[in-house]
């Protein structure tokens, strides 16, 4: 096997990378191998710099993917002791625009909850769990990993907050709505009482992959396109709909657990129409003209 094959095998075995991801990385690395004349694993910084020059006409997103493939490949070689140096400092640093998040309308959310609430009213265990998951994703803006890894100890008794451990091990307090609290109260007596997790599974806690599957199945039952729904999309809906309701961007940063306000500012693009209306209605000059 070549070093490229070894790297792709590691992606599949240790990182659980999707087949399409592995295929894309393989194409990028094989192309780079051809461009440097073979033996990519031995390429010098000068050769990688020429690679970047050859990719100058590519779209920023494509260039970013190729650079990422090479950075991970050479990082793997260093970790495996195949190389002592990492030559990827010679690669370009493409600036990519952060894509706008997918948006769920208020009507989409209403349809989703109507279906989940109807199913949960039966008292069936998995339906009650689904409603609790949905309430916490949309009502508190949790990340998928934060949600599935919630311990039972994080559930509030009196205070209306969850204690969540987010990226980088940072802990934050997340408000829990009355609706979400009611959904959790219905779920708690049904869960496995011996588990330390709020949403247990046979081997630990519910996985991110299973959460994705459950949401897409719920979307289909609610007559929504399954590809339109994911935990991240519900988190975006939480943020966008809060902004529409007049939430402060700094408060939203705290709720989402963003370390940098620039990450939160993407939502100002989503809600641009409301911001224009706000300036037209609330700016002092607008009020002055209205009184003339």
| Residue 205 annotated in active site | no
pLDDT band at 10 (very low <50, low <70, confident <90, very high): confident
| Residue 277 annotated in active site | no
Which of 215, 250, 255, 247 has the alpha carbon at shortest distance from 232? 215
| Residue 202 annotated in active site | no
The interaxial angle of helices 60-79 and 45-54, nearest 10 deg, is 160
| Residue 167 annotated in active site | yes
3-state SS, residue 102: coil
pLDDT tens digits, residue range 160-211?
777 777 666 677 777 788 888 899 999 999 998 889 999 999 889 999 899 9
Q: Is the pLDDT at 146 greater than 90, yes or no?
A: no
**Which residues of the chain does CATH 1.10.150.130 include?**
3-90
What is the structure's pLDDT at 130?
Answer: 96
The interaxial angle of helices 231-244 and 106-120, nearest 10 deg, is 120
Q: The domain at 106-276 falls in which architecture?
A: Orthogonal Bundle (1.10)
| Residue 236 annotated in active site | no
**Which residues of the chain does CATH 1.10.443.10 include?**
106-276
Enter the CATH code of domain 3-90.
1.10.150.130
* Active-site residue, from 65, 66, 129, 143: 143
pTM of the model: 0.57
What is the structure's pLDDT at 273?
Answer: 57
């Amino acid at each position: 096997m070549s070093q490229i094959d070894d790297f792709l095998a590691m992606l599949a075995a240790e990182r659980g990378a999707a087949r399409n991801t592995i295929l894309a990385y393989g194409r990028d690395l094989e192309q780079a191998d051809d461009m440097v004349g073979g033996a990519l694993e031995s390429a010098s910084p000068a050769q990688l710099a020429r690679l970047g020059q050859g990719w100058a006409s590519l779209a920023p997103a494509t260039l970013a993917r190729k650079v990422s493939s090479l950075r991970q490949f050479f990082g793997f070689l260093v970790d495996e002791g195949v190389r002592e140096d990492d030559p990827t400092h010679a690669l370009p640093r493409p600036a990519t625009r952060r894509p706008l998040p997918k948006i769920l309308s208020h009507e989409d959310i209403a349809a989703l909850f109507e279906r989940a609430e109807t199913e949960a009213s039966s008292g069936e265990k998995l339906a009650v769990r689904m409603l609790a998951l949905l309430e916490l994703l949309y009502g508190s803006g949790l990340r998928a990993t934060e949600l599935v890894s919630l311990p039972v100890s994080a559930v509030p008794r009196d205070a209306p907050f969850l204690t969540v451990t987010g990226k980088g091990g940072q802990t934050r307090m997340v408000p829990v709505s009355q609706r979400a609290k009611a959904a959790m109260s219905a779920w708690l007596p049904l869960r496995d009482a011996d588990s330390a997790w709020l949403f247990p599974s046979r081997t630990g806690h519910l996985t991110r992959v299973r959460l994705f599957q459950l949401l897409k199945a719920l979307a289909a039952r609610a007559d929504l396109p399954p590809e339109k729904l994911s935990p991240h999309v519900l988190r975006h809906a939480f943020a966008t709909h809060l902004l529409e309701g007049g939430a402060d961007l700094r408060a939203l940063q705290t709720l989402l657990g963003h370390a940098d306000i620039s990450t939160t500012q993407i939502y100002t693009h989503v809600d641009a129409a409301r911001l224009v209306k706000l300036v037209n209605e609330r700016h002092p000059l607008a009020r002055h003209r209205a009184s003339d």
